[in-house]
Amino acid sequence: MSAFPPPQVAADSPGRASLRDQAARVLLVLAAAGALVAMISAIGTVADAGPTTRMVETWRLLGFSTFAGLFALLAYRPRYYAGVWELVIANKLTLALFGLAYGAGTKDASNVLASDGTLALLLVAAYVLSRGWRAWSTLRVIDRLTGRIDADRADPGGGSCGANFARGSPTPANSALPDR
C-alpha cells in the first residue's frame, strides 16, 4: 500500500471516461443493440409482407437501422452531436404517447407504448448521465475555432452550423473538444 493517494482524473479529462459517461454508454449500447435486433427481426416481416404493407414494413426496418446508428453515434461521442439527443428522445416519447392515445383498439399500440416508452426513459437517463445538452457548447467551440461565429456576424444569413467543414476548413489539431 502506497503512502500517496492514487492520482485523481478529472471527470472531463480526455484520458478516462467518467462513471456517468460509462453508464450512459452502456444504456446507449443496449438501445443500439435493441434497435439492431428489431431490424434483423423485421427482415422476415418485410419478406413476408404483401403489396399493401410491404412499403410501411420496409420503412419500419430502415427506421430500426437508422436508430441503431444514431444510438451508436451517441454512445461513441455523447457530447458531440448537437440536437440528435433531443430528436431521438422526442421521437420515442411521441411514439409512446401515440401508443397511449390509440389504446387497446389499435394493433400494436400497447407494444409501442411499452417499448418506445421504456426507450424514451432510458434515453433521458443516458442524456442526463452524459450531460448530452453540452453538445451545443461543443458546437460553439467548433464554430469559434473555425471562425464560423465571426463569419456569421459579417453575414447574418450565412448558412448553417458547421458550414466551414463542408467548405473544407480543417479542424485545428489542438481543439479543446469535450469528447475524444
Within a domain: 39 = yes
Q: Same domain for 103 and 166?
A: no
Long-range contacts: 52-60, Cβ < 8 Å, 24+? none
Q: Same domain for 76 and 105?
A: yes
Domain holding 163, by residue range, is: 136-180
Q: Same domain for 82 and 166?
A: no
Q: Same domain for 28 and 114?
A: yes
* 110-167: pLDDT as tens digits: 999 999 999 999 999 999 999 988 888 877 777 777 776 655 555 555 555 544 444 4
| CA atoms of 69 and 36, how far apart (whole Å) | 9
Q: Same domain for 141 and 108?
A: no
- What is the percent of the chain where pLDDT is above 90? 56
Q: Same domain for 124 and 154?
A: no
Q: Same domain for 37 and 122?
A: yes
* 70-111: pLDDT as tens digits: 999 999 988 888 899 999 999 999 999 999 999 888 988 999
* 5-36: pLDDT as tens digits: 444 444 455 556 789 999 999 999 999 999 99
